[in-house]
Amino acid sequence: MKAQKSIEVTCLSSEAAWTLFQKEVGEETLKSHPHIPRLAKIVAEECKGLPLALITLRRAMAGEKDPSNWDKVLQDLSKFPAEISGEGERTQRDATLRNYIATRGNYFRALHEVYIDNCSKLLNLTWLVCAPYLEELTIEDCESIEQVICYGVEEKLDIFSRLKYLKLNNLPRLKSIYHHPLPFSSLEIIKVYDCKSLRSLPFDSNTSNNNLKKIKGETSWWNQLEWNDETIKHSFTPYFQIHEAEAYLTDSEESEIDGIDDMQQDSASN
């Protein structure tokens, strides 16, 4: 299997996802048995437009001409109920495919960079536990995501152990990165913008003593963070830097105030 070191994820429409899946699985496989096209379409629908899921299943099922094995895939997909938000309601779907990927997960082990963008129905990215060598993670414009790693996953201190860069941007419902503190032994930079529901960071007392260089975000977000221990908060405060846009506005306001003061002083002297 060819190693994949980085991948960008933007959700596809159902039609585009089915077209991609058909192309990748191959016409020969789809025509090898009359039941396979129907089963393949159901499998593709379960991926909810996620290219990562489509690619993983394509690699697993290309050349698979036994309908019973396609049935087994569908059974596997139903075993781990990761959440995806539906039209007006939430449905339990295995869109992250963590259970299936765990058994066929070599594809993800080589991932070093992941960029998730504009996946509006995604509620978590629990499949990241299958990417132990991940170094850079960016998640942007996913309006429904609530957790990066969902609750119910067994505690694993090696999650994100090699992660160096983490950016979370415009995730209004995000509440949790991980439900237990992690050492983040390699983390250097974390950026958090427009994540008003994220009230805590999964840091332990050792994180700041490792490779951490900066935590960037809005002042309002930083001030509302909740900490289990004030000592931990104080240890991370020196690393916090305000968002560039906020810094620019602050500098502009200060320049404007200075300009007004200068004008008033000139007027008074005249």
Domain range for residue 206? 108-247
In the prediction, which pLDDT does 181 show?
Answer: 86
What global pTM score does this model have?
0.66
pLDDT top residue among 60 and 100 = 60
In a domain? residue 163: yes
In a domain? residue 64: yes
Of all residues in the chain, the percent with pLDDT exceeding 70 is 67
pLDDT score of 244 more than 60: yes
Choose the weakest-confidence range: 55-59, 77-81, 207-211. Answer: 77-81
73 within 8 A of 40, measured Cβ to Cβ: no
Pair (115, 226) in one structural domain: yes
In the prediction, which pLDDT does 10 show?
Answer: 65
In a domain? residue 98: no
Chain segment 149-191, per-residue pLDDT in tens = 987 666 666 789 999 999 999 999 999 999 888 889 999 999 9
AA identity, residue 227:
W
In the prediction, which pLDDT does 241 show?
Answer: 94
- What are the residue ranges of helices labelled H in the chain? 14-25, 27-30, 36-46, 51-61, 67-77, 98-103, 106-109, 219-224, 230-236, 244-269
Cα 228 to Cα 54: distance, rounded to the nearest angstrom: 40
pLDDT band at 259 (very low <50, low <70, confident <90, very high): low
In a domain? residue 261: no
Pair (67, 173) in one structural domain: no
Mean pLDDT of 250-255: 50
Map residue 243 onto helix, strand or coil: coil
In a domain? residue 159: yes
Domains of the chain: total: 2
| Domain limit, last residue, from 79, 99, 116 | 79
- CB burial of 125-162 (b: ≥16 within 10 Å; e: otherwise) equals bbbbbbbbebbbbbbbebebbbbbbbeebeeeeebbbb
Pair (140, 214) in one structural domain: yes
Pair (180, 61) in one structural domain: no
Task: Share the mean pLDDT of the chain.
Answer: 76
188 within 8 A of 165, measured Cβ to Cβ: yes
pLDDT top residue among 147 and 79 = 147
In a domain? residue 13: yes
In the prediction, which pLDDT does 258 show?
Answer: 53
In a domain? residue 84: no
